[in-house]
Amino acid sequence: MTPVEAVTLGQNAITITLLLSTPLLVIGMVVGLIIAVFQATTQIQEMTLTFVPKIFAVMLALLFFSSWMLIKLTDYTENLITNLPNIIR
């Protein structure tokens, strides 16, 4: 395995990780921003108010995106296992 192949393999792993985590992180960030604006306008400074809606939103997003995430991860793993003989040489 050449250094270029090793870097490409690492780059692909990081890319798939970012691709799979982005929808959940964006939804959590948007819900957190909405709650922060709500807290600022109503002056409610309860710390536990931020956690429950974010957890609920991320769980709903996970249910919605889980099939897409599983397909992407399965395709990546299948491609990696298929190319394993070429990687080892």
Which is nearest to 27 in space by CA: 77, 63, 3? 63
Instruction: State how many domains the chain has.
Output: 1
Range of the domain at 43: 3-88
Tell me the pTM: 0.81
Concatenate the DSSP letters of all residues of 8-56 into one string. HHHHHHHHHHHHHHHHHHHHHHHHHHHHHHHHHHHT---THHHHHHHHH
Burial zone of 39 (CB within 10 Å; 0-12 exposed, 13-18 middle, 19+ buried): middle
Distance CA 22, CA 53 (A): 18
Model confidence pLDDT, tens digit, residues 3-24: 898 899 999 999 999 999 999 9
Residue 46 confidence class, pLDDT cut points 50, 70, 90: confident
